Structure 1
Amino acid sequence: MKKIILLTVSIFACFVLLSGKKTESEYQKNTIPKEVTALYTSNFHKFQEEVHTLAILANNSSSSNHFQQLKKQIEKTRLVYKDVEFIFDYYLTSFNGTYINGAPLPKSNEYFEAGNVIEPCGLQALDEAIFDEPSKENLIHVKLLANKLKERVDFITKVHLPIQIKTSQIIECIRSGLVRVFTLGVTGYDTPGSANGIAESYESFKSMETTFMYFEKGIYPEAKPKFKSIKQLFKQGKKFLKKNSDFNDFDRMVFLKEIINPLYAELLEFQNLNQIKLEPFKKHAQNYQSKNIFDVDFLEANFYSELVYLPLDNPKTIKLGKLLFEDPQLSNNNKMSCLSCHNPNKGFTDGLVKSKSNKEGIYTHRNSPTIINSGYSTRYFWDMREFDLEKQVTHVIDDNLEFNTDFKSITNKLNKDTTYLKLFKEAYGGIDKQDINRRSIGNAIAAYVNTLKSLNSPFDKYVRNETDEYPENAKRGFNLFMGKAACGTCHFAPIFNGTIPPLYLESESEVLGVTKGFDTINPQLDDDLGRFVNGLNIDKKPYFKNSFKTVSVRNITLTAPYMHNGSFETLEEVIEFYNLGGGAGMGLDIENQTLPDAPLNLTKQEVQDLIAFMETLTDVSGFATK
């Protein structure tokens, strides 16, 4: 019997060896997560202790003379937080963005406080407040922020720890952490008051490196060279961040090409070589298999359209959607189509201040935005009134200035067309009683719109190392965009729209104080209230007055005039508006402006460099033009 058992074991062992298949080692499956969990737990408690120290210090401060001491403690607290953020934000994204390190703006969250207004709070709010004018009122505000932070950190420590981390999730946390460093760290998004983003990014890098080093034991032989390469890249990254500490002079292009993108790619290769299977903790928009932050497939557009009638990548529905997009039968008078306002030759806009309506001489209320890359978003239209790409067409169909009709009339027309009957049957046959219906029409148009992707610009090809040619002024412009000019703190890489990294789960709007025309002498605030009057109760909050969606700047040279009201004719005017600090910086009283009102102090050369960079974001290679 023993011989039979031994023979069986030997045969099985030989089979495994001959098959060449390996599985995750016990060490990296069990030991590494325990060690990382222990480190993370220890670091989180250190963060909690620093928050306690901050609250005590704030409570014991009685005059503005204590501001310097508070500044140092806030800086220290934030640096300690950077040791845990790349893991904490991955597992508790919503809590982090709402209470711990989200933008210092009022917000409402469907998961917290019943959607009521949550006043600015957390580490970013503290960073901003402590660099405001020292005063008794501001000291009271800092005390309130510090005590609220302590309360929330104490709460989350109880429910969050101990944490269960899987090996593959450690690597995923690090990769997302790299995205965070590049998009929110070195851009200054995380540090609105101190501009201490480079030092904080160094701390993040150091912590991610320390965590990765736990993989040094138990590596498969074929993964060892990759481990060594990653170790060297972390070392280079820390050295680069330490050496180039000046915020305005920091070369973000070099950092991206020589540190961030190589690390992002090699971590995935290391995971594959080391037989670590993919087990994401949560669904998010990042495509884990991508190797470059600017890969065409870095973000999954289908992530934003999961609850659709049919998946949007169906070739049959895409073909049908293009026909519908171009067909004037969808309008009441058979004269307007989607093309009327979204012309491929003009970056899928119409080149007008505000779009033509179905009435002669009458225009719609807003400028026509591009629909290129519109699939990479959680909200749609300037006022963000729609959550679903598939349902966008409903608003156009119902609008009395646009198609001015209804689905019943449209389906009656399409049912008389033999070509449409055939195409709808091929695409949607058997799903519903009628192949041509509200949902199938919306789904087909959404499927086509979702194909309008523009991610192969000269800039993309350069940062993906597909070409060595790239203008020097555009390099300077990219560094300005992601640094001094602060464009990248609202127009987030890689789409350069308002969908927030590193997991890209939410799209933002901003209050810029956009004026009627570009008049710097006697500016007048545009009277469109935007998101505040979009018809959604959740958005009827005072801080959403004059708030509009942050759209992508890709293909921006094709989409003039600019802003929701088409007020600015040129990119020079747009940049000068930001350079002045928006409406508030121009002297208008805008209580809820999210754009800082301080001037950017951009020189004429810097303005031209910014434009040179944005020109390299042009890519209409995938669109048919006449």
Structure 2
Amino acid sequence: MKQISLVLLSVLVCFGMLSGQKNTVSYQANTVITEVQAWYAHNFYTFQNEVNGLAHLAQSATSVTDVSKLKIQIKKTRLAYKQIEFIFDYYQTPYNGTYINGAPLPKISEYFEADQVIQPCGLQALDEAAYGDHSLEHLNHIKDLSHRLKLRVDFIANTHLPIQVKSSQLIECIRSGLVRVFTLGITGYDTPGSVNGIEESLQSMKSMEQAFLFFENGLYPEAKSKFKSIKLRFKSGQNMLPTSVNFDDFDRLNFLMEVVNPLYAELLAFQNLNHITLEPYKKHAQNYQAKNIFDIDFLKTDFFSELVYLPLDNPKTIALGALLFNDTTLSGTNIMSCVSCHNPDKAFTDGLPKSKSNTTGVFTARNAPTILNSGYATRYFLDMRAFNLEKQVIHVVNNTLEFNTDFETIIKKINSNPDYIALFNSAYGGISKTAVNERSISNALAAYVNSLKSQNSIFDTYVRYETDTYPEAAKRGFNLFMGKAACGSCHFAPMFNGTIPPFYLDSESEVLGITQGLDTINPILDTDLGRMVNGLPGEKHPFYKHSFKTVTLRNINLTAPYMHNGSFETLEDVLEFYNLGGGAGMGLDVDNQTLPETPLNLTKQEIKDLIAFMETLTDIKDYVD
């Protein structure tokens, strides 16, 4: 009996010790968050003070010679911002992107100003302005930008602080911060004037490391080894980002392979080992469980299609959509199908400058882009007139040069086919009065298009560590793509399209000054007005004139000819156009060109290397016989 009592006592003591350990770790975890919140508030107020200093310095400036002093203060202000960015942007994404660190372009915001035009403002605009022409007019512009930034930062400080952070949200902030550094920092996207992306990325890495180190006081034993590994990885990343490194010479591929992807995976592993419950704060397109920026499931296509008739991942609707995609009876003349312009053998394009219409000898207005990976976007068509894949269908159905019909006619044709009726009833029966209707037809086609993925290229398998083999020329090309050539500052990883990281909430269009063919001696600007005339009243603005959606570059070596008008026959032509600075760089008067008109000064070998990289983005093996 005495032995049994001793055993029970031992068990109770051990249980108490374990319980005490859990309570201690839980207490320490709460302390960690308190420390993080205080640390973040201190850094935010430091940033606010730098903004105030900038505004004061700008208002007291009297001549263009004062711009050099303003440059120094703008740099200090931006570096202070980089200490808070990974947390601030997570909790205040729309406000940050609109007023604090948005791209230096006019914009229409769905969140602010009641759809009015918001002129360029914030830190990116200041970075660009400080390195522009030194004139009194330019100085006044810097004064105005500085004053407006101060007003916005003062306002948000009163509503944003103190923040309430949870442990998993902090890890999510850091992981998204890594994506931001890789896609927006080291590419130069965030520093359009100073090209100071390397130093700013270093500051971001230091700040994210400091935030992570607060977890040291709340570690479970099983998480200690991973904690040490992450510390070492952060130090390694900082060692790769010395301020002395030249922007063009930085090895971005090595940084991805040795720092960004490993940290992205290890932070998730640490969260699990340290028993931190996932409590996401916001909705965004990243799949939290992904372990690599180039994982097939890193982005969730269902994020971009929330308002559809049925979720687009239903095998029944995908199979039905595939039949409809190939069916010529959907068109008014029974001769066109979706495949007419989107051929799987050509990476779902048609190989023509502008697509054939339903009339012999007549062509549509624009080139047919690939629809592979098209589900990873918030806007559709080259002029961005449709807001999801379902809504895209009606434009094709009604277009007089394409299907030139209506849904009532299509529904009658489908209802005359018993096989189709059975398939529609199986997929959509019971949702509405009739299974065959405009929404179900559109949904089936959208489901099929959404299923068309291309993420197993040679490049993907290499950066996912599935192979050790990758061409040296392609390695050089990737570094050029993400650096000197500035391709990655518009074609964002991992899809290399215009959907903006790190949260992938919006898709961009660009004004490039596209010409009619590549005539570098007597260039002629293409007349297509693009997004400005897409029919959406909120987008009929001059800054959208000649603006077109930034499409994916995956499978680009199979999708010639290029640009919205199909005017460039080869990738060499495309890169020569960019190398010259677009239409404006070629001497044309292009209003609001978003592509810098300064020549890139790419050598012939660098152009070959860029093409070598882009050729490794090819992957259509699942869609060809």
Under a length normalisation based on structure 1, what TM-score does the superposition of the two structures give? 0.96
- Once the two structures are superposed, residues 497-552 of structure 1 have per-residue CA deviations (whole angstroms, 9 ceiling, x without a partner) of 00000000000000000011111111111110000000001111110000000000
1:358 alignment partner, SS class: coil
Structure 1 outlier segments of 4+, above 2 Å: 7-19, 21-25
Q: Report the Cα distance in structure 2 between the residues aligned to 1:502 and 1:49, rounded to whole angstroms.
A: 27
Distance 2:504 2:346 in 1: 28
In 1, the alpha carbon distance for the partners of 2:616 and 2:543 equals 34
1:216-244 superposed Cα distances (whole Å, 9 cap, x missing partner):
11211111100000000001111110176
1:151-166 equivalences under 5 Å are 151-166=151-166
Give the match for residue 513 of structure 1.
513
- Secondary structure of the residue that 1:217 maps to in structure 2? helix
- Given that 1:183 and 1:501 are in contact with CA atoms closer than 8 Å, whether structure 2 keeps it comes out as yes
CA distance 1:567–1:17, change in 2 (3 Å): farther
User: Which letter does structure 2 place at the counterpart of 1:264?
Assistant: Y
Q: Distance in 2 between matches of 1:391 and 1:447?
A: 12
CA distance in 1, matches of 2:260, 2:282: 23
Aligned twin of 1:617:
617
Alignment of 1:460-609 (within 5 A): 460-609=460-609
Q: 1:363 Cα deviation (Å)?
A: 0.3
Structure 1: 5+ residue stretches without partners: 1-6
d(CA) in 1 for partners of 2:411, 2:29: 56
Over residues 335-374 of structure 1, what are the superposed CA-to-partner deviations in whole Å (9 max), with x where a residue is unaligned?
1000000000001000001000001110000000100000
**Alpha-carbon offset, residue 25 of structure 1:** 3.8
**Contact kept? 1:309, 1:440, Cα under 8 Å:** yes
Q: How does 1:260-299 map to 2 (within 5 A)?
A: 260-299=260-299
1:38 is matched with: 38
Q: Report the residue type matching 2:125 in the other structure.
A: A
Residue 242 of structure 1: SS of its match in structure 2?
coil
Per-residue deviation, 1:390:
1.2
Contact 1:477 1:613 in 2 (8 A): yes
Distance (Å, rounded) in 2 between the aligned partners of 1:8 and 1:196: 65
Aligned partner of 1:521: which letter?
I
Whether the aligned pair in 1 keeps the contact of 2:29 and 2:218 (CA below 8 Å) is no
Distance 1:416 1:102 in 2: 53
Secondary structure (helix, strand or coil) at the match of 2:241 reads helix
Q: Give the corresponding residue for 2:390.
A: 390
Counterpart amino acid of 1:355?
S
Match of 1:4 in 2: none
Cα distance change of structure 1 residues 12 and 97 upon mapping to structure 2, 3 Å threshold:
farther
Cα 1:28–1:181 shift into 2, 3 Å: farther
Shift of 1:125: 0.5
Tell me the residue number matched to 1:137: 137
The answer on 1:337 being equivalent to 2:331 is no
1:317 corresponds to: 317
Provide the C-alpha distance between the structure 2 equivalents of 1:344 and 1:9, rounded to a whole number of angstroms. 71
**Residue 161 to residue 243, structure 1, CA distance change in 2 (3 Å):** closer
CA drift at 1:591: 2.0
1:362-401 pair list within 5 angstroms: 362-401=362-401
1:12-411 equivalence runs, <5 A: 25-242=25-242, 245-411=245-411
Q: Which residue number in structure 2 is paired with residue 447 of structure 1?
A: 447
Distance 1:18 1:210, change over 3 A: closer
Deviations 1:10-50 (A, max 9, x none): 9999899999x979942354211111110110000000000
Shift of 1:135: 1.0
Amino acid at match of 1:616: T
Task: Report the 3-state secondary structure (helix = DSSP H, G, I; strand = E; otherwise coil) of the residue aligned with 1:510.
Answer: strand
Determine whether 1:424 maps to 2:443. no
Aligned residue for 1:215, secondary structure, equals helix
SS of the residue corresponding to residue 504 of structure 1 reads coil
SS in 1 for 2:132: coil
Q: CA deviation at 1:250?
A: 0.1
Partners of 2:463 and 2:221 in 1: CA distance: 31
Q: CA RMSD, aligned part only?
A: 1.9
Alpha-carbon contact 2:183-2:501 (below 8 Å) kept: yes
Superposed CA offset, 1:133-181 (max 9, x none): 1111110000000000001000010111111111110000000000000
* 1:304-336 deviations in Å (ceiling 9; x for gaps): 001111111100001000000000011011110
Letter in 2 for 1:224: K
Whether the aligned pair in 2 keeps the contact of 1:515 and 1:567 (CA below 8 Å) is yes
AA aligned opposite 1:302: D
The percentage of aligned residue pairs carrying the same residue is 68
Does structure 2 retain, via aligned residues, the 8 Å contact 1:24–1:277?
no
Report the CA distance shift for 1:147/1:420 in structure 2 as closer, same or farther (over 3 A). same
For residues 82 and 240 of structure 1, what CA distance do their matches in structure 2 show?
18
Amino acid at match of 2:432: D
Kept in 1, the 8 Å contact 2:29–2:217? The answer is: no
The verdict on how the C-alpha distance between 1:281 and 1:13 changes in structure 2, with shifts beyond 3 A counting, is farther
Distance 1:366 1:10, change over 3 A: farther
> Whole-Å Cα distance in 2 between the matches of residues 244 and 72 of structure 1?
17
1:173, 1:471 → 2: CA distance? 34
Cα distance in 2, alignment partners of residues 488 and 27 from structure 1: 44
Contact 1:28 1:167 survives alignment (8 Å)? no
What does the per-residue CA deviation read over 1:96-147, in whole Å, with 9 as the maximum and x for residues that have no partner?
Answer: 1111111100111021111111111100100001111111111000000000
Partner amino acid, structure 2, of 1:378: T
Check conservation: 2:513, 2:546, Cα contact below 8 A.
yes
Q: Distance in 2 between matches of 1:14 and 1:550?
A: 61
Question: What is the rounded CA distance, in whole Å, between the counterparts of 1:366 and 1:28 in structure 2?
Answer: 60
Contact 1:580 1:586 in 2 (8 A): yes
What per-residue deviation string (whole Å, max 9, x for no partner) do you get for residues 574-604 of structure 1?
0000000000000011121000000000000
Q: Does structure 2 conserve the Cα–Cα contact (< 8 Å) formed by 1:353 and 1:367?
A: yes
Q: CA deviation at 1:463?
A: 0.6
> What residue in structure 2 maps to residue 3 of structure 1?
none
Distance 1:24 1:479, change over 3 A: farther
TM-score, scaled to structure 2: 0.97
CA distance in 2, matches of 1:321, 1:23: 54
- Secondary structure of the equivalent of 2:225? helix
SS at match of 2:137: helix
- Decide whether aligned partners of structure 1 residues 15 and 406 sit closer, same or farther in structure 2, where only a CA change above 3 A counts: farther
Aligned residues of 1:513 and 1:546 also touching (Cα < 8 A):
yes
User: Kindly tell me: are residues 559 and 22 of structure 1, through their superposed partners in 2, closer, same or farther at Cα, counting changes over 3 Å?
Assistant: farther
Query: Aligned partner of 2:188: which letter?
Result: G
Asked whether the 8 Å contact 1:325–1:339 carries over to 2, the reply is yes
Structure 1 residues 24 and 384: CA distance shift in structure 2, 3 A: farther
CA distance in 2, matches of 1:428, 1:8: 61
Between 516-525 and 475-484, the greater mean CA deviation after superposition: 516-525
